[in-house]
Amino acid sequence: MQALEEKRASRRKAMLLGGAALAGMALTRSAFAQTITDADILNFALNLEFLEAQYYTLATTGTTIDVAAGISTKGGDGSAGGSVTVKANPKVNFTDTFTQDFAMEVAMDEQNHVKFLQTNLSTSAVAMPNIDLMNSFNALAQAAGLGSSFDPFASQTNFLLGAFIFEDVGVTAYQGAAPAISSKTYLDKAVGIHNVEAYHAASIRTRIFQAGTSAMQASQMIAMTRAKLDGSNNDDMGVSVDSSGAATIVDADATARTYARTTSQVLSIVYGGGAAGKGGAFFPNALNGTIK
């Protein structure tokens, strides 16, 4: 137990030494709150929910959300939705029914998040942007030092690592955006989704822990890459076991609170370091909406 606390304290020391950076982040949030509407924030979330819904639906059914669940990818104004780049036959061959059932549950949750946000945004809802679930993973695998390519649909463990790449990002995105939401009604909706995403992330991290050393090491490399991409280098951690035998399944700081990322930091990760407004990685042509 003491070793785990020392490990977390060490990470937080680095965070405190970056106080100037944190102050800058706070200023970013202040400016963000003054210039961005609540609808803009929910549309930012909708883009991310499209990504997650497509990933889990393709992994469990082999088809996209419009085919598998009849979910429209059009904007509230009728604008056409984008396409999904993915390999042929992406349905994952799960090796145990427990993980398969869990993946199906998450797929339905993410589909419901998309529908929920579309309903609440009504005609203001953005269309689904172009999503890449093939080249994006290859690029991020190279950046993380996991090899020249990575197929998240090739195996159950790969699927878990693929989900790990953006599940924690979703949690930190909602955590970071919440203070900028002015409407209590919209805040309640965002917090409700945030909590479910946290359940998803924790479950994914637990299954990576159960998958063994190789999967945990891969998660650590991915976490370091995310922290590097968002410019902090210290707001993320993979799944591991410390010298006392305590796990780091919970992705939290020294006060046991969820990390928070600004929209710019989130974009840096999902764009794979691509320029704001230009896109890259999971969103090759950027997000739709004001925040992109």
Q: DSSP assignment of 48-88, as one string?
A: HHHHHHHHHHHHHHSS-HHHHH----S-TT-PPP--EE--S
State the DSSP code for 242. Answer: -
Residue 3 has a pLDDT of 47
CA–CA separation, 63 and 57 (whole Å): 7
Greatest Cα pair distance in the chain: 56
Structure tokens at 169: 């990002």
DSSP string, 77-135: T-PPP--EE--SS-----SSHHHHHHHHHHHHHHHHHHHHHHHHHGGGPPPPPPEESSH
pLDDT given for residue 20 in this prediction: 34
Distance between CA atoms of residues 236 and 274, nearest Å: 20
Predicted confidence at residue 84, as pLDDT, reads 99
Place of tokens 């549950």: 105
Residues 94 and 156: beta-carbon distance below 8 Å: yes
pLDDT given at position 46: 98
CB 291 within 8 A of CB 40: yes
Q: What is the pLDDT of residue 126?
A: 99
Q: Which pLDDT value is given to residue 11?
A: 47
62/84 Cα distance (integer angstroms): 12
Question: Tell me, what's the pLDDT at 14?
Answer: 40
How many whole angstroms separate alpha carbon 161 and alpha carbon 146? 11
Check residue 29 and give its pLDDT.
42
Q: Whole-angstrom Cα distance, residue 122 to residue 140?
A: 34
Q: What is the mean pLDDT of each run of 10 residues along the chain (292 residues)?
A: 49 39 38 73 98 99 98 98 98 97 98 98 98 96 93 98 94 93 92 95 97 96 94 87 84 87 95 90 97 95
Q: Domain ranges in the chain?
A: 2-270
Contacts of 31 (CB under 8 A, 6+ apart): none
